[in-house]
Amino acid sequence: MAREKLAQAKSDALKRGQLPRSEPRRRSGSGAARRDAGDPLPFGRAIRDLLAARGWEQPVAVGGVFGRWPEIVGPDLAAHTRPESFEDGEVLVAADSTAWATQVRLLAATLVKRLNEELGDGTVTRVKVRGPGAGPRPEGGLRVRGSRGPGDTYG
């Protein structure tokens, strides 16, 4: 039944004059198939060409690194930190506690090296660390005068 349908489709196309090419594609001197202007590009190549034309290679690479943060820094560090931004060679990393912020500061040189392995040498020059943000100040009368709230221990 499938053969009959295929034969029917071919005969209909022949009547309309829309049969696919029967002659083989021409080969260029190198032996590779030459691409005609109307031929589609492979998807990966089309994306690479678009990124290059728009100058988006580095932001896309940085986004890829941010998306694979646990694979790059390890699951323990990734559980307590997250990359927030990349600007002018500086990666801003947010930590969920002061202890982890200190740990990231101690590992900053190693992180720069590891990130440059992923992004290309010299892309990342510095890792800046931001500790936990000061949350809303607690309501009520039980407060120490002069206290800055939950951010009081960060420094």
CA 53 – CA 76 distance, rounded (Å): 38
With a cut of 90, say whether residue 105 has pLDDT above it.
yes
CA 95 – CA 139 distance, rounded (Å): 26
pTM above 0.75, yes or no: no
Grade residue 108 by pLDDT with cuts at 50, 70 and 90: very high
Check if the beta carbon of residue 2 is closer than 8 Å to that of residue 10: no
For 9-68, write each residue's pLDDT tens digit: 777 776 666 555 555 555 555 555 666 667 788 888 888 787 778 877 767 667 777 788
With a cut of 60, say whether residue 152 has pLDDT above it.
no
CA 21 – CA 141 distance, rounded (Å): 85
Closest CA to 81 of 92, 65, 148: 92
All domains in the chain, ordered by first residue: 57-130 (3.30.300)
